[in-house]
Amino acid sequence: MTSGGDAPGMNANVRAMVRAAIYKGCKPFAIYEGYEGLVKGGSDYIKELSWNDVRGWLSEGGTNIGTARSKEFRTKEGRLKAAKNLIDAGINALIVCGGDGSLTGADLFRSEWPELLSTLLKSNQITQSQHQSFKYLNICGTVGSIDNDMSSTDATIGAYSSLARICQAIDYIDATANSHSRAFVIEVMGRHCGWLALMAGIATTADYILIPEKPASSKEWHEQMTEIVAKHRKRGKRTTIVLVAEGAITSDLKPITCTEVKDILVEKLGLDTRITTLGHVQRGGTAVAYDRILATLQGFEAIEAVLQCTPDTPSPMIAIEENKIIRRPLVNAVKLTKSVAEAINNKDFKKAMQLRDSEFVEHLHNFMAMNSADHNNPSLPLEKRLNIAIINVGAPAGGMNSATYSMATYCMSRGHKPFGIYNGFTGLTRHESIKPLNWLEIINWNNAGGSELGTNRTVPEESDIGLIAYYFTKYKIDGLIIVGGFEAYTSLHQLERNRVNYPAFRIPIILIPATISNNVPGTEHSLGTDTCLNSLVEYCDTIKQSASASRNRVFVIEVQGGNSGYIATSAALACGAQISYVPEEGISLDQLEMDINSLKQIFINSEGKSKSGKLILKSANASKVLTTNVLASIINSESSHRFEAKTAIPGHVQQGGMPSPIDRTRAARLAVRAVQFIETKTEILLPFKNCDSFNLLSDDDIHKIVNTAAVLGIKRSKLKFTNIRHLYDFETNVKKRMPKDIHWSYIRDIADQLEGRITIKH
């Protein structure tokens, strides 16, 4: 059942539940129109779904089974009717996808279940046999909410799709604002949670945001906003963007309206100002790749959860913490969520902020610091200010520019001097392409694709490492941030290894992984992968539409990613590809035969029905012999004329255009952490800067020093710094340019199960 406000990804969630339930031998039912349908019951509202009933749902927005609020369910009589309807349908487990109100209702329903059954038995509405058979009701919740306002989870289904709509709209608005040198006041959703406004503010470099968690008095926010906007304008910025969460308030709980904000900008600064209310556009459209994957994994886990629940198990809520799907007690999550709104209503804003997850608070601090860049007095004393350089190495990836912008603006707010090294290490050695980054020049970099600094694959030892050291010394570089993929990883290794010969490299060096291949050891997520997945999923949706329109057609789509199958696997899960081939598994002839026979059977069963087109995603390096064209030819020759195979190669389209909000905001967080890493590690290296016996250090000194050259990655539930020496020696398959541990392999099994694919394990 889907309930409350609709959210992109709900259909993906339902699809995963239906297919996972069937795969595990259960009967899945959809309850149409939310709790209203549960109360009304009958075959019009409670319907069993088959495998093919949810075909194509991944690419559809909203919720196909409907959602509606129900006053009757809030009454005991209504819940009694709902219980009777579930028993009549033979249902003993209920999974609800919705917000805190919907999940509260579900948990209340479970707690009352024994009492409701007893009442139904006494009134002869159910038999003793039914009472015994449906003695327990298992409840599970998945969170569908664009506000991302549920505690105990990093993301809710639909939140990042909504954020993508907001950022796209602001990007468009920013272009017209620049043309007329205008100010725009934009209202976004978020009654009790400012997550959308905050993240959009970071992703689009908004001038000011107003959110319910951090209000100020009417006078204070008036003055703060006009001061910041005036400083930005004075430094040459032509546009002004102010984001207002719909729940924005002053410290005395007075609502802040867009009209009020507009009037202040007009009266105090004389700006030509417009108001844009995005409204329900934020809910609309198809889900982005992240939400499709999140909803699918959570739907699959929800089925596991209800099957494993016992009468004593607290109702679980399926959550995510930094890439890991977990279960949380539903009642605790709802209680925490409601306590945020209560704290705001009680004017206890400090408590409201504490109840938000640490990442929310971190993002808010980062936004405030970056927003004051180069305009306010630096927060560090003169003696602690550093020269910090940033360089891009490897292929372009979405988020590279965002990382540069965030690094530079945060450095400025602290008092550091940010340097950009242009066109990689060869740009430095051939043309001395290094210069301080200027705030006005980089103001639009955050939402730009590619790499404004320029990038190439040349590593230091292929360039001129001695000359690199010379320029580091000349410009007095105190810390280096490398942004890129495996070539950047190799560069970090080479610079760390050459500290013995070159004192210039005895500085903190940090790598922010950025590559669509997601093949850098030390992290489970690289910048650029989300942008790539969005581009690839959009491409696959279009191809699948063509395949379905032509009925019996299969498209073999070639996917980039080097020796990593991460992109192919994730895209297959997000777009519902029937088959995916990856380098980690290769393509065996017996598996290929099994897959072709499976396709034959699918097309026989479809009998020319709509939506019968199929996709096969093949990593370019999955097989050197079975290329994309060869694979399509084999499928055609073996298809018995029941279907035909075509090829599609998106190529560099996969690198994406403008970076996704996820890559922009994640880049900001990683860049700030990288600067903080350099700040904390600088003093450790100072005693060894000009040490003549660097290769004869004690074990204690070596241990300190090796941790000053590290990869900043996302591992399990947190950001983690791992020194390059450990990663390179123990966790890297250098020949294949891959980490030894493939953290995402479990996703392949889920993708195969949800498509009914039988795999042969070797």
**Separation of alpha carbons 318 and 301, rounded Å:** 7
**Binding site annotation covers 102?**
yes
Contact predicate 506/499, CB 8 Å: yes
Helix (H) or strand (E) holding 751: helix 745-755
- Angle, helices 529-549/661-685, rounded to nearest 10 degrees: 160
**Binding site annotation covers 284?**
no
SS3 579: strand
Q: Which tokens sit at 6?
A: 């609709």
Contact predicate 489/708, CB 8 Å: no
> HEC string of 90-103?
CCCEEEEEECHHHH
**Binding site annotation covers 733?**
no
**Binding site annotation covers 515?**
yes
Contact predicate 420/453, CB 8 Å: yes
Contact predicate 102/156, CB 8 Å: no
Candidates 107, 147, 149, 291; catalytic one: 147
**Separation of alpha carbons 722 and 70, rounded Å:** 51
**Binding site annotation covers 78?**
no
Q: Which tokens sit at 76?
A: 């005991």
**Binding site annotation covers 99?**
yes
**Binding site annotation covers 519?**
yes
Residue with token string 């694709």: 449
Residue 474, judged by CB atoms within 10 A of its CB (0-12, 13-18, 19+), counts as exposed
Helix (H) or strand (E) holding 749: helix 745-755
**Binding site annotation covers 238?**
no
**Binding site annotation covers 145?**
yes
**Binding site annotation covers 516?**
yes
**Binding site annotation covers 191?**
yes
Which residues have CB under 8 Å from 329's CB, separation 6+?
Answer: 314, 315, 316, 317
**Separation of alpha carbons 80 and 73, rounded Å:** 9
Strand partners, 75: none
Helix (H) or strand (E) holding 484: strand 479-484
- Closest CA relative to residue 516, chosen from 556, 560, 481, 558: 560
Residue with token string 């340097």: 419
SS3 523: coil
**Binding site annotation covers 652?**
yes
**Binding site annotation covers 653?**
yes
SS3 152: coil
**Separation of alpha carbons 368 and 413, rounded Å:** 9
- Closest CA relative to residue 716, chosen from 178, 271, 320, 254: 320
Q: What angle do CA 138, 144, 146 make, to 5 degrees?
A: 165
Strand partners, 187: 244, 277
**Binding site annotation covers 518?**
yes
**Binding site annotation covers 562?**
yes
Please confirm, yes or no, whether 147 is among the known catalytic residues. Answer: yes
**Binding site annotation covers 553?**
yes
**Binding site annotation covers 283?**
yes
**Binding site annotation covers 70?**
yes
**Binding site annotation covers 537?**
no
Length of the chain measured in residues? 762
- Closest CA relative to residue 417, chosen from 440, 443, 453, 385: 385
Between β-strands 316-321 and 324-329, what pairing exists: parallel, antiparallel or unpaired?
A: antiparallel
Q: Where are the alpha helices (DSSP H) in 554-588?
A: 566-575
**Binding site annotation covers 92?**
no
**Binding site annotation covers 219?**
no
DSSP for 214-260 reads S---HHHHHHHHHHHHHHHHHTT---EEEEEETT-B-TT-PBPPHHH
Phi, psi for 527 (deg, rounded to 5): -60, 140
**Binding site annotation covers 274?**
yes
**Separation of alpha carbons 439 and 410, rounded Å:** 11
Q: Which tokens sit at 497?
A: 């290894």
Contact predicate 519/528, CB 8 Å: no
Cβ atoms < 10 Å from Cβ of 71: 10
DSSP state of 511: E
Q: What angle do CA 534, 565, 397 make, to 5 degrees?
A: 45
Residue type, 617: L
**Binding site annotation covers 282?**
yes
SS3 68: coil
- Give the max Cα distance, the chain: 92
**Binding site annotation covers 224?**
no
Q: Which residues are annotated as a binding site for beta-D-fructose 2,6-bisphosphate?
A: 457, 515-519, 553, 560-562, 646, 652-655, 737
Active site positions, annotated: 147
Q: Which residues are annotated as a binding site?
A: 5, 69-70, 99-102, 145-147, 182, 189-191, 246, 274, 280-283, 457, 515-519, 553, 560-562, 646, 652-655, 737
Q: Which residues are annotated as a binding site for ATP?
A: 5, 69-70, 99-102
Q: Which residues are annotated as a binding site for Mg(2+)?
A: 100
Q: Which residues are annotated as a binding site for substrate?
A: 145-147, 182, 189-191, 246, 274, 280-283
